[in-house]
Structure formats: structure tokens, C-alpha cells
Amino acid sequence: MIPAISTQHDLGHANTLGLPCVAERFTAPENLSELTQALETAYARGWPLTLLGGGSNLILPGRLPGLVVQPAMAGWWLEDGEGDSVRVHAEAGMNWHRLVMALAARGLWGIENLALIPGHCGAAPIQNIGAYGVELADVLEAVEVLHLADGRVTWLDRDACEFGYRDSVFKGALSGRVVIMRLVLRLSRHARPRLGYGDLSNRVGACASPLEVAEAVCAVRREKLPDPCDLGNAGSFFKNPRVAAEQAERLLAQYPGMPHFPQPDGRVKLAAGWLIDQCGLKGWRDGHFGVHERQALVLVHFGGGSADELLDVAARVAARVKGRFGVVLEREPRLPG
């Protein structure tokens, strides 16, 4: 069955930055058959193809030609694993935060620290989403993908996903080659709280439930981060940079209070928000975009601007940081294609 395809579809509300964008054609397939038909139609007619998730980590242009496909498969279910483990199957169109809260309410541990991260489950492996000391890679067992070249449906285990810090094979060798269909996560019924990041340990008791931890994470995020429904943003706009130990030592000699986190590979991770704040940019605004007044790592959209304007503001923020600290900031949100 061929899914409904609309034309001149407004995507302004389909990206958390709130950037104005119109899709020449748009469809939201609800199953594998509809997805396959949509892809075959695009190929047969020579339409450029753009895959869209929840729009939480994307910088959209004013217009997207061809066909925009936003998978709408949004089911999830549980499967008993070994011992106290539980496998969670989540389809690509499932809202990530809703899944986290539903599982936490069932007493399952593993992703409660990832509460309130916007977007759909299908986009989570691309970015290897992470927060408060936990990454998706910590709990992901497998990803089901549809290969665009030949329509095959296969599974990738965690190693094949090549996860790194805010990175994966879906940004590299498989970029633009597959559609993520489903995730399989391995969670636990046994209490395994991760409270060492920030002040989480001060907000919940020693015997907290996963739901209580998730709610505490939500409270912290709401205090520090703007709600995209109120002020357009894509969360953290820059990755926390990792620098050589020698460079970190030089910076610490000059800035003893600089947050720094030694990494297993010998490098040192720095806090991009702190670097931006030290450049006096917290709360800075230029036209339609600016740096959030409470969290310098977040660039915000006040309305009316374009992707080009946002990228220009981001480039100037990165240039200020490089000029003062000699540290290069890398953008987190992606451009289509």
C-alpha cells in the first residue's frame, strides 16, 4: 500500500529549533510495507530523499526538495532476557522520553538518566545520545535497519554500530544508506542507579526508584535547559571537546578552575559550555539567534531566522572559543543529507 503523500508540507513544528522549512513532499509511513513503497516511489520518480525523525538534532533549510519520509512506527514491547534483564523493543517513531518514563515506571533500570531528551527512538543511535553519565551504547543490544540500496532488513549488534562520543556508524559508513527501524535495549530489574553526575545524588535518596531518578533528571534539565516548545533549540549545540593531555595542562595552568575530565584514551574532555561562558557569550544575542542565558552550550532561536543565520552565529561562537583557548568546537546538530 502506498502511503499518503502531502505536498508543500510545513516542517516548522517538526524540528525543535523551530526553523521555517517546507517539504516539497512528505509522508509518514506506519509500517514496513508503507515505508518500502514510499522509498520505491521516490527512487522511481527521481525524487531526492530526506529521512526525518523527531527533528531534535537537525538544522533544516527553508525548503527540502523531493520526498521527506518520517517513519511513524511507534510501538514498543518487552521480552524477558537472562536473569534479571529485560529486552525492550522500540520502533523508530516512538517518542524517546515517553519510552524512558514508561520503562522507569515499570521499575526497569538503565535509561532513567536519559529522560527528557527530545526526539524519536530511531535517531537515538545516530547520535549515541547521552546525559548524566549514561550513553545509549551502555544499554543498546541491537538495531534493525532497512538498507536503501536493496531493501534488505538486517540487524546490527552494538559493536557494529561503532559507537563513540556522540558518534556512530550511522554518521559514518552507513550515513544515508539505511533507515533505522527498531532498537533492542537491555535493561535490568536490579537497582543500578548512576548518580555521580551533577547533583543527582542530592536530589534522590539512596533507595530511589528508576522513576524517581528519571523525575530528578527532568527537574535538572528543566532548570538548566529551555523547553523547545517555548524557545527553539536543539539542546547542546556543541560537543564537549577532547584535547591532548598536554594542551589541557597548559590551559589548567592558566585557568585552574576549568572543568576537565580525563578520558580512557589519555585525552581530556573539556566543558564546551564553560569555554563559551568564559568568552562572555552567555545570554549574547544577534538578531534571531543567541546563546541561552542559563546554559551557554545551548543556542536558541527567537523566531524568524534561517539556517544560514544560525550557522553564522554558531561559527562566531566557535571562533571566539578558538581564539581564546585554542580549542575547536564541533557542532552536534546535523544538516539534512
Catalytic residues: 166, 236, 332
- Give me the helices (H) in the chain, please: 32-45, 96-105, 124-127, 200-203, 210-224, 245-254, 272-278, 307-325
Strands 140-147 and 134-135: unpaired
**Nearest by Cα to 195 from 255, 132, 141, 139:** 132
- Dihedral sign from CA coordinates of 122, 124, 125, 127: positive
Residues in the chain: 337
Q: Which residues share a beta bridge with 114?
A: none
- Contact between 165 and 270 (Cβ < 8 Å): no
For residue 58, the number of C-alpha atoms closer than 13 Å in the C-beta half-sphere is 29
Alpha carbons 294 and 335: distance in angstroms, whole number: 26
Quote the longest CA-to-CA distance of the chain: 65
- Contact between 83 and 104 (Cβ < 8 Å): no
Alpha carbons 133 and 114: distance in angstroms, whole number: 9
Alpha carbons 203 and 88: distance in angstroms, whole number: 28
Report residue 158: phi and psi, to 5°: -60, -40
Alpha carbons 214 and 50: distance in angstroms, whole number: 33
